[in-house]
Structure 1
């Protein structure tokens, strides 16, 4: 592994924020002459860290751009982008749960107890399945149709957005309850929710700020 100098690392940091940029502009930001940077830029180009185009300037190589995106994913945490959890009690009727789904415009509801601890998940599919051809099902409590613990995929606020995305893809779900373990208990307190939409919006914002 190549051990880059402090100035070479500073050059790559500048490029990550301002690419494409000329050697003159880099030199001005670092407070040195263009000639002083010549050897540093040559090393970075030869090692594939950066690329240069005539009349355009220097920019990070594609490999470095991928690394930069990976770093963003690994440095952004669930707690940074999570949304409010839409919850109902287990005694909530199927009819009221359906109304909540449409009013909140969500695909799933998180079922909690009086202490806001996770009990289950109920989805549109669950509700549709139980109500089709059974008009009386609308008065049933959701606890009879929900997916119960421990068969629920959850994530903690301190996990990275990358880990959340991996879980959603692997388990084929659109959202995850964000939970916090309750001390001296196996219970999980619901503190939020992260969705694919949260992640996509965050990535767009990160890209525009980079």
Structure 2
């Protein structure tokens, strides 16, 4: 059974008093942005706690014993909704080159890999901003000096469920997860893709429109 975060519990509390209600209204009540709530709302819909209707908003599920919604998400695999080729760079890539890649590919973070696409780390927009502010010389630094090392990067395999991916993103407060090839050697992780909050939300919308 999933342990809901404090914010997800707050969302359920708001719906009890104000349903139906839009994501914008919930965000305003919680003092956060609508984008911040996307993964929380996705998890609550997946687990059958709440429902959503276009032009109406979110409301509490009227049939909590109905597990169909949760089962669908547990049966939908990461490989079915993950993005295409992940945006990757080498550890020798300079901070300046990494910043350019971020904007050209319109992503929030870059996956750092070796020449064989094995995970070495991840570098975020925040990491690059912190190192460059007030330090113009930092642009020539290799990203390996500012990236989060492989051992501290949260990953997921393509055979895991979207439900698992959403829980990880919410729990670890990250916007995306590198998708890695399953391996008996836990220290070696070959990057084969990436799944993001946007992937999950799009899949949620598509599935909801089919019901």
TM-score by structure 1 length?
0.68
What is the aligned partner in structure 2 of residue 79 from structure 1? 79
1:7-51, CA deviations, whole angstroms, 9 ceiling, x for partnerless residues?
xxxxxxxxxxxxxxxxxxxxxxxxxxxxxxxxxxxxxxxxxxxxx
What is the aligned partner in structure 2 of residue 94 from structure 1? 95
Query: Following TM superposition, by how much is the alpha carbon of 1:186 offset from its aligned partner in structure 2, in angstroms?
Result: 2.5
1:39-81, CA deviations, whole angstroms, 9 ceiling, x for partnerless residues?
xxxxxxxxxxxxxxxxxxxxxx932685221121111000000
Hey, what's the Cα distance between the residues in 2 that align with 1:103 and 1:195? 18
Contact 1:181–1:187 (CA under 8 A) maintained in structure 2: no
Q: Does 1:165 align with 2:166?
A: yes
Which structure would you say has the larger RCO, counting Cα contacts within 8 Å and 6 or more residues apart?
A: 2
What is the aligned partner in structure 1 of residue 201 from structure 2? 200
Alignment of 1:175-190 (within 5 A): 175-182=176-183, 186-190=187-191
Q: Number of residues paired by the alignment?
A: 150
Gaps of 5+ in 1: 1-60
Alignment of 1:112-127 (within 5 A): 112-127=113-128
Runs of 4+ in 1 over 2 A off after TM superposition: 181-186
1:102-128, CA deviations, whole angstroms, 9 ceiling, x for partnerless residues?
000000000000000000000000000
Q: CA RMSD in A?
A: 1.6
TM-score by structure 2 length?
0.68
The verdict on how the C-alpha distance between 1:172 and 1:112 changes in structure 2, with shifts beyond 3 A counting, is: same
